[in-house]
């Protein structure tokens, strides 16, 4: 059965276009002045659905602890906040916990096309820049261990974060990259030279640039400078807390089509201040800011994707048209999925958002199905 969205102001790769959209079997079949009845959007704005390639959860659950039903609640929360493509992020934990959660996610993904893959954030990370990662579960990089995880995930791991200075890291990065999985560099004390070696081995991205990594010094450039100076993609948490708004603006100006906006959201996203957990670690949220309880270590965010898009517009003083790629086509390109999602075009999946004139989210469509 076909769905027709009429009289929409559609953001296409060539700018805004007033047209109708014909959706059939989950994809955009046609766009234009279509002689078919449908839902009249009365000029409301339609944009591509948003990606979030780095998010641990929301609405009371996280991917390191949730069962299948709770994961579905997380995914519905994402959809209500503009996400149509997600890399569910599993972080450093007990080995058996990582494997269990990867297995559950692989089954949930079969029913929910919002899940485009899994981001494995760890356990091959630096103790010095572990952030909220539990120290006792960090591991030395091992391709054999990665293969164990990927088997549990039924091949769904699409992105893995590794600290490039660790023993065997360059070899493991090369082998993972050759297997078709994207490698991101982060939670790291790496030098500039170590980082460049990892990039030459195949690493494609940087995990939450500037956060949980050695900062830039003008005498000893580090992984953080490599994130700006190389042609790799770079994640940026756009809550205005992890990065000063002017830093977000600078990253966007320097990286352009290689910046990927993320939320790095926790189970507390969408919920009030209070006490929560992240993979079992106690978290405290004050004034919407999440910290490991009793420390000065920030643990992730309470941000939603649609808020993040509005933040990018505000921080960078960009229009919607200038801002959209950070949450859509850029991550799709990085992950090799730009032929399927990331823009509103004929032949691509009908992952769409309908916004009002103040960019408030009205409706979400995933593979042509209206979610809210």
DSSP per position, 159-211? EEEE-TTSTTHHHHHHHHHHTT-EEEE-SB--BHHHHHHHHHTT--EESSTTT
**pLDDT above 80: residue 1:** no
Sheet holding 233-237, edge to edge: 50-55, 83-91, 115-121, 157-162, 182-185, 205-206, 233-237, 259-262
For residue 123, cis peptide bond before it (omega within 30 degrees of 0): yes
Quick one: pLDDT band at residue 330, thresholds 50, 70, 90? Answer: very high
Question: What average pLDDT does range 326-344 have in this prediction?
Answer: 98
Counting beta carbons within 10 angstroms of the beta carbon of residue 4, is it exposed (0 to 12), middle (13 to 18) or buried (19 or more)?
Answer: middle
Rounded to the nearest 5 degrees, what angle is found at the Cα of 335, between the Cα atoms of 107 and 327? 95
Counting beta carbons within 10 angstroms of the beta carbon of residue 15, is it exposed (0 to 12), middle (13 to 18) or buried (19 or more)?
Answer: exposed
Average pLDDT, the chain: 97
Torsion of CA 137, 140, 143, 149, to 10 degrees: 0
* Residue numbers annotated as active site: 264
Please tell me the predicted confidence (pLDDT) of residue 236: 98
Quick one: pLDDT band at residue 280, thresholds 50, 70, 90? Answer: confident
Please tell me the predicted confidence (pLDDT) of residue 6: 97
Quick one: pLDDT band at residue 279, thresholds 50, 70, 90? Answer: confident
Please tell me the predicted confidence (pLDDT) of residue 346: 98
Torsion of CA 55, 59, 63, 68, to 10 degrees: -130
Closest CA to 16 of 372, 367, 319: 319
Gap between the Cα atoms of 162 and 189, Å rounded: 11
**pLDDT above 80: residue 122:** yes
How do 361-366 and 369-370 pair as beta strands?
antiparallel
Gap between the Cα atoms of 184 and 329, Å rounded: 18
Please tell me the predicted confidence (pLDDT) of residue 57: 97
Quick one: pLDDT band at residue 108, thresholds 50, 70, 90? Answer: very high
Q: How far from chain centre, in Å, is Cα 339? A: 18
Instruction: Give the tens place of pLDDT for each residue, 155-211.
Output: 999 999 999 999 999 999 999 999 999 999 999 999 999 999 999 999 999 999 999
327: Cα within 13 Å, side-chain hemisphere: 31
Question: What average pLDDT does range 351-363 have in this prediction?
Answer: 95
Please tell me the predicted confidence (pLDDT) of residue 286: 93
Question: What average pLDDT does range 101-126 have in this prediction?
Answer: 98
Quick one: pLDDT band at residue 296, thresholds 50, 70, 90? Answer: confident
Closest CA to 254 of 230, 237, 222, 218: 230
**pLDDT above 80: residue 372:** no
* Range of lowest pLDDT (75-79, 257-261, 290-294): 290-294
Rounded to two decimals, what is the model's pTM?
Answer: 0.97
């Amino acid at each position: 059965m076909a769905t027709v969205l009429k009289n929409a102001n559609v953001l296409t790769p060539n700018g805004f276009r007033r047209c109708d959209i014909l959706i059939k079997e989950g994809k955009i079949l046609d766009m234009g002045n279509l002689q078919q009845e449908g839902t009249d959007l009365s000029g409301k704005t339609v944009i591509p659905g948003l990606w979030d390639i780095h998010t641990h959860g929301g609405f009371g659950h996280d991917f390191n602890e949730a069962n299948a039903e709770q994961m579905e609640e997380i995914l519905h929360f994402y959809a209500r906040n503009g996400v149509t493509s997600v890399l569910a992020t599993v972080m450093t934990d007990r080995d058996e916990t990582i494997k269990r959660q990867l297995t559950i996610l692989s089954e949930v993904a079969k029913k929910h096309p919002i899940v485009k893959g899994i981001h494995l954030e760890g356990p091959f990370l630096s103790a010095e820049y572990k952030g909220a990662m539990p120290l006792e579960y960090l591991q030395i990089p091992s391709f054999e261990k990665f293969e164990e995880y990927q088997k549990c995930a039924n091949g769904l791991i699409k992105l893995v974060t590794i600290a490039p200075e660790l023993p065997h890291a360059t070899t493991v990065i090369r082998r993972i990259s050759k297997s078709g999985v994207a490698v991101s560099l982060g939670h790291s004390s790496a030098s500039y030279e170590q980082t460049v070696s990892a990039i030459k081995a195949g690493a494609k991205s940087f995990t939450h640039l500037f956060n949980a990594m050695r900062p830039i010094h003008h005498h000893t450039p580090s992984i953080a400078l490599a994130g700006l100076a190389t042609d790799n993609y770079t994640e940026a948490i756009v809550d205005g807390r992890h990065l000063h708004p002017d830093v977000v603006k600078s990253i966007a100006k320097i990286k352009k089509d290689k910046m990927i906006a993320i939320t790095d959201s926790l189970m507390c996203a969408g919920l009030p201040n209070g006490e929560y957990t992240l993979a079992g670690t106690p978290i405290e949220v004050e004034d919407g800011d999440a910290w490991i309880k009793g420390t000065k270590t920030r643990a992730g965010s309470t941000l939603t994707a649609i808020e993040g898009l509005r933040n990018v517009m505000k921080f960078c003083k960009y229009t919607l048209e200038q801002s959209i790629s950070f949450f859509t086509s850029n991550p799709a390109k990085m992950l090799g999925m730009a032929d399927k999602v990331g823009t509103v075009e004929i032949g691509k999946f009908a992952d769409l958002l309908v916004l009002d004139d103040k960019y408030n989210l009205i409706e979400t469509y995933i593979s042509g199905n209206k979610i809210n």
